[in-house]
Structure 1
Amino acid sequence: MSNLLNLLQLASPTIPIGAYSYSEGLENLIALEIITNKEQLKNWLNTELNHGSIGIETAVMIRGYQSIQKQQIDNLEYWNNWLSASRETSELREQSWQMGKSLLKLLLDLGVTNQIDPPCNYAIAYAIGAATWDIPLRDATLAYLHSWTTNLVTAGIKLIPLGQTHGQQILRDLHDSIRINADRILDLEDHQLFTCNWGLSLASMNHQSQYTRLFRS
């Protein structure tokens, strides 16, 4: 029960790391009317879960978790640097670093040892929390993907806009995709860490110069 409560706290949308201020390019896609309704938002998120960089980010989180369990801090730093180098745009990298820094500070305040020097990616900070609190790896992986999906559904509700019920329907419809991709990512070997994510890259780059925007990325 304590593991479950720790997981709920770690993956909660109320955790103060600033996730709500990021749309990961979604704001630009909506401004360009590429995404205008519930079905298009759901299809975009499903495509990202299946093929996007969230899969690589989650795979690095898994490796960070395993590094903490084995006390391989050099390996933890390697994957942190690897993820920083793989970010498609400066906005996405800054998002990951800012959220990672905020989560590390929070974990330190909650009694979890800070085991990596900044800049720290969010996936690595999450891995430190999950491994230190002995949260089962599959549960941590499911929660990581669910938290990401929830954040972007919330952004879509604000931007399109959609009703809260539509947002919950999207999240519910994506449960199978979250579960299937969690199991897929858990089985990835290091040489399989690649992604086809040019849509997100272009949206993020365009967002940097968007005239008006509500979100930081």
Structure 2
Amino acid sequence: MASYSNVANEGEDVLKAYKTKFNAFDLNRNGIISMREFAAVSMRSGYKMSKEDIIEIFEKPDMEKTGINFEEFVDIMQRKAGRSRALAPYRDKFRRYDYRRRGCITLDEALPVLARELGFDRSKTEAFIQIYDRNKDGEITLLEFVDFEKKVEDLRVQIKAAFEAIDKNKDGFIDPDEAKDVLLSKGYSEQKVEERFAKFDRDRDGLLNYTEFAAFYDVPLN
């Protein structure tokens, strides 16, 4: 586990770099970073953070009273660097949604991706975001995105497997007869299958492509 002693062993220059960062937050130079100081410097740098955000970063619920000293700051920055490395594989995927580069994913940003890949409509996308939006601010951060993306991939695999199983002639489309083979066995009437097929055949070509099928298939969130 990363710690102040590990960093100290790396040499004077590394500690100096951490000290420079620490001093930028320690506005009154008392050797302690308070929650108010951290929030003020963050806001000055363009990041408006709530009390809950700061507590989550510093993993110290009593920070409002005690603040953090230099050694604690170094330990926290080391852990943060470790988390950042762990999040690296998800950054490019996150940017597919976060096209405005705000560091979070909104409903409007998630909708076109999930509609294309999972067949989600607006209400289903909103319900999906609510599951993984831990702080209930209506947005998905990079930390929240890890579990969000794992579930997206799981649902994507389910839909792809179903599409390939139903596409008996392997032409890359689902025709009405292939759809009936599946849904009639699940208790749908022939009329209901035809109505559902027509509803999701958006280009009116008499076939369901992958995106149309994803909406037609309506994979459950849980």
With normalisation by structure 2, the TM-score equals: 0.28
Q: Which structure: larger Rg?
A: 2
Instruction: Between the two structures, name the one with larger relative contact order (CA 8 Å, sep ≥ 6).
Output: 1
With normalisation by structure 1, the TM-score equals: 0.28
